[in-house]
Structure 1
């Protein structure tokens, strides 16, 4: 893969390539974006460009550090290893690139220990930090880095990505994948490869049907589903919002051509008759509140119970 083969993020790719060619690429960078948005691809291609290589393969002077399996944070010992690596001379040429994944998982103490190296790395060393939550990076580090924020791909870009990646999909399947991915290429790949995500999509329709009954016992019966997929909460909430978006549009226009989840068009029509505009907008706000709580690592069972209760009351 090369920069030209990465779909989307055109301005950022242009900025990076131009800076490298003009030899004004700074020594420390942060690439921030949601999981699956393409941070690692951008980082790898940036590193290859810095080294002046053409082929995407393993190079001794591209060193990657990732969160250890089973660990929730990157501590001082791991950061000392990263710092030590920056002091080693490149194997080829005069440049070395250090890519640190999950940089927002580095503890505050470890970030402080890393600060001097980020501010003044050895000559020829470039540091690229990848993260999802920029607010967890210390301001002192952010101020010393060039930051690139990767945004979700447009529907047109997602169509291009999915079509090139999975050429055998029907038009309905293609639209379903794009609807679920919500502009994030990694989610599209997960949807194709992971049957559990298709189960999420099918089950959410039934959840919305039970919410329409206002029967508290029936609504709370969905708790097991949310607990089962608590680690995929982003996909669950994105799927709910996608359906509600379709229901709102169909209620407003009665135009099935505007529905993204076209393979669920009959379900969308049914649910459109079950909910008022006010209730649908209320549910959207509840889902947004739920997302904020999940991002703050509030107990998932309590969060989803609260969400279901509020949906019944709205």
Structure 2
């Protein structure tokens, strides 16, 4: 990978390349953008350029930190481990790059513990924080970093990405993926390659049809599905919301070009005739309430089961 191979974000790439070439690249950076927008690609390319490496592979002086699998956040203990790594001397040269993924998941205490290191890291150390939200990063951290905000790609940039990465895609499939991606290249890969996401989309659509039958065994019928994807509840919520949004739009103005799930257009058309606007907006409200519960770490499978029962009553 190189900056030239990363599609989009041209101003930021040019700014970064210029600073590195002029040897005035700051020691701390905060890259902001949604999941799948390209934060890690840009961070890795920065690291390779700073170390003057030309092959995209793992290097001992590029250290990447991620949230531990059994944890929901980055706590003080994890930050102390990062700080210890920061203070170790580089192995191969005189530079080391520390990349912290999902830094928005650092607790307030962890961010405060990291503050002095970000402000004054050892000579030759560059710290790059990747975050989905600038609002979850303390102002004291932000003020000590150079901030790069990544914007969503245009439809043409997504098309360019798809033609390069998936050259055999049919025209209609490309249109569907562009609409679904909503400017985020990572969502293209999710749409085309992630088998669990494909199943979530398919089952979510099945459920919307099943709800109209008002059958009492609906919870039991989809119990295994919700348990299987209890850790991916955000994707389940997103899938329901995107379908209901499409149904409302098609029901209102019947414009296929505005549909996100354009590969499911026939299903969207059918469902638009099965639900009223009041029912659809009521389901939106129920899904939002379910999301609020899930944000508070309630049992996701149970929360979805309750949601299904209430959606039948809308």
> Taking structure 1 as the reference length, what is the TM-score of the superposition?
0.83
SS at match of 2:212: helix
Who is 1:207 aligned against? Answer: 207
Distance 2:229 2:73 in 1: 23
Who is 2:300 aligned against? Answer: 300
Change (3 A) 1:305 1:143: farther
Task: Extract unaligned runs of 5+ from structure 2.
Answer: none
Q: CA deviation at 1:22?
A: 4.1
SS at match of 1:157: helix
Who is 1:130 aligned against? Answer: 130
SS at match of 1:169: coil
1:160 corresponds to 2:164: no
Q: Is the 8 A contact 2:211 2:312 kept in 1?
A: yes
Q: CA deviation at 1:270?
A: 0.8
Distance 1:187 1:122 in 2: 37
Change (3 A) 1:294 1:183: farther
User: Relative to structure 2, which stretch is displaced further, 67-76 or 2-11?
Assistant: 67-76
Q: Is the 8 A contact 2:32 2:149 kept in 1?
A: yes
Who is 2:38 aligned against? Answer: 38
SS at match of 1:80: helix
Change (3 A) 1:61 1:87: same
Who is 1:104 aligned against? Answer: 104
Spell out, residue by residue over 1:192-219, the C-alpha distance to the aligned partner (whole angstroms, 9 max, x if none).
3332322222222221123334x26255
1:231 corresponds to 2:227: no
Q: CA deviation at 1:272?
A: 1.0
Q: CA deviation at 1:107?
A: 4.3
Task: Extract unaligned runs of 5+ from structure 1.
Answer: none
Who is 2:185 aligned against? Answer: 185
Q: Is the 8 A contact 1:223 1:304 kept in 2?
A: no
Spell out, residue by residue over 1:50-69, the C-alpha distance to the aligned partner (whole angstroms, 9 max, x if none).
33444433334322223344
SS at match of 1:147: strand
User: Relative to structure 2, which stretch is displaced further, 218-227 or 264-273?
Assistant: 218-227
Distance 2:152 2:269 in 1: 28
Who is 1:253 aligned against? Answer: 253
Q: CA deviation at 1:114?
A: 2.0
Spell out, residue by residue over 1:45-93, the C-alpha distance to the aligned partner (whole angstroms, 9 max, x if none).
1222333444433334322223344344444444333223323343455
Q: CA RMSD in A?
A: 3.0
Across the two proteins, how many residue pairs are aligned to each other? Answer: 313
1:146 corresponds to 2:146: yes
Q: CA deviation at 1:280?
A: 2.5
> Taking structure 2 as the reference length, what is the TM-score of the superposition?
0.83
Change (3 A) 1:291 1:159: farther
Change (3 A) 1:143 1:313: farther
Q: CA deviation at 1:118?
A: 0.8
Change (3 A) 1:219 1:198: same
